[in-house]
Amino acid sequence: MPTPIQDEIAHSILLKEQRKARAKAVLNRPSSSVPTLLVTMLIVGLGAYLQGAYQFEAPMWVSVFLMVGVSGSVANMMDLWTTRRRLEAAIILLQLQQDSQH
């Protein structure tokens, strides 16, 4: 019959392995520019539709600038989010590697 200390050690080892597997899965996932492209096109298309549906009283260059600016911002946010996830996964793996060396 396992003691509470043995249960705690087994639980700790299991948690480390789960974190390691999750981090490796994030790092091994291929990066793709398709979601970024789709979101950018969706925002530009939505902006063009709204430009036609609701008469936005501004020069054409202003509406184009707004659409491109918003779509670029959203695409950048998506790229930063994926980069942050990959960096966090790399940090987790490095921490686990450092813990296993001690």
The residues, any chain, with a CB within 8 Å of residue 67's CB and separated by 6 or more, are 43, 44, 47, 48, 51
**Which tens digit of pLDDT belongs to each residue from 44-59?**
888 778 777 777 677 7
Residue 13 included in any domain: no
Residues 74, 43 contacting (CB under 8 angstroms): yes
Distance of CA 32 to the CA centre of its chain: 11
Residue 66 inside a domain? The answer is yes
**pLDDT above 80: residue 99:** yes
Instruction: State which amino acid sits at residue 70.
Output: V
* Domain extent for 65: 61-101
Residue 87 lies in a domain: yes
85 found inside a domain: yes
User: Which whole number is the average pLDDT over 21-36?
Assistant: 85
**Amino acid code (one letter) for 31:** S
Q: How far apart are CA 50 and CA 44, in angstroms?
A: 10
pLDDT at res. 90: 92
Confidence (pLDDT) at 84: 92
Give the number of domains in the chain.
1
What is the Cα–Cα distance from 60 to 51, expressed in whole angstroms? 9
CA–CA gap between residue 30 and residue 10 (Å, rounded): 32
pLDDT at 17 over 80: yes
Between residues 49 and 16, the one the model is more confident about: 16
Q: Coil, strand, or helix at residue 37?
A: helix
Q: Mean pLDDT for the chain? A: 84
Choose the most confident range, by mean pLDDT, from 28-32, 50-54, 69-73, 91-95. 91-95
pLDDT classification of 87: cutoffs 50, 70, 90: very high
